[in-house]
Amino acid sequence: MTAAPGSSTRARPPRPKDAPRGNAAVKRVAFGVGGVLLLVALWELYKAVGPAEGVVVGDLTILPRTTDLAMPHVWDMITRLFGETGSGRNAVPVWSAVLEASAFTLGVAAVGWVVGVVVGMLLAVLMQRFRTAESAVLPWIILSQTVPLIAIAPLVRRWGSQLEFGDFTWENWMSVAVIASYLAFFPVSIGALRGLNSPDAIHVELFRSYGVGWWKTLFKLRLPASVPYLLPALRLAAANAVIGTVVAEVSIGLRGGIGRMIIEYAQQASGDPAKTWAPIFGAIAVGLVAAGFIALLGVLLRRYRRGEVPA
């Protein structure tokens, strides 16, 4: 990133850097596509040369079977995407059903992510402001992540169903979003706390010596400084929100999303093995869109990304 603020760049002639940058982008895409192709090639290669009964050591299968039942051909999976979901009146192409379910899951995950980020940021600010809050809250934040999801999912649904204010009624998708946010807030609160505490003492003291108040220090110094810590945390939170949404959908049976589709198609795994992979592709697509969104966020915040540190 250029360290200089935007004012000076406008007058400059086109930078020679631009050309290699364009190449770098092409290269990155090529590497990405290459990675997928490599995975496909590995899959098909193992399927072609691997033993039909898999590799078994003692009673333990360490490499899977290569039958069409266990490992359908990649092209079968893709062809199946363009087939129909069934033969009846409600049948639609599988890809369109998967797309619809993915959009639904993405939406719920996005709500869960936003709630998780807001809660995580608030907790981080609170812990940064009050040392006692940090020692009181931090252990609970860590403990919260040790509670298994399958234990809290039905509870959240039941508590939610008892909520009712006026015209507002709690919907099941909100329970799923809450569970997603429960997983998403954790990395944000930890990452943001580290980020808020990251400015050098010398900078903090400078602000203090100018008599700048805590709020202004937060917005002008601590928050900008926290960005390099925050972005990886937001990325983790996005991944957690997607996983949380899919698992919670399975857990409480929310209709419409990828999670439930995985279970429903899994019931046909014996007779239609390629179909079970369709919702898995959908889940991957949701994850990619979520990751892409965070990448965009990173571009928007690039002014503050000096020396990004992995979370």
Contacting residues toward other proteins, per CB under 8 A: 6, 9-10, 65, 67, 69-70, 84-90, 103-111, 150, 153-154, 157-158, 161-162, 169, 171-173, 177, 250-257, 260-261, 263-273, 275, 289, 292-293, 296-297, 299-300
Nearest distance in Å: CB 200, other proteins:
28
Closer residue to other proteins (CB): 80 or 194: 80
For residue 169, what are its two tokens?
A: 């009624």
Neighbours of 282 (CB within 10 A): 28
Closer residue to other proteins (CB): 57 or 202: 57
Nearest distance in Å: CB 219, other proteins:
20
**Under 8 Å CB-to-CB from 164, ≥6 apart: which residues?**
170
Integer angstrom CA distances of residue 76 from 5, 46, 49, 136, 165? 52, 16, 18, 54, 50
Nearest distance in Å: CB 98, other proteins:
12
Integer angstrom CA distances of residue 133 from 13, 79, 92, 141, 248? 52, 55, 53, 12, 30
Nearest distance in Å: CB 201, other proteins:
33
Nearest distance in Å: CB 251, other proteins:
4
**Under 8 Å CB-to-CB from 248, ≥6 apart: which residues?**
149, 153, 175, 176, 179, 180, 254, 259
Neighbours of 124 (CB within 10 A): 29
- Rounded CA gap, 18 and 9, in Å? 13
Q: Which amino acid is at 143?
A: L
Closer residue to other proteins (CB): 177 or 188: 177
Closer residue to other proteins (CB): 217 or 245: 245
Closer residue to other proteins (CB): 110 or 123: 110
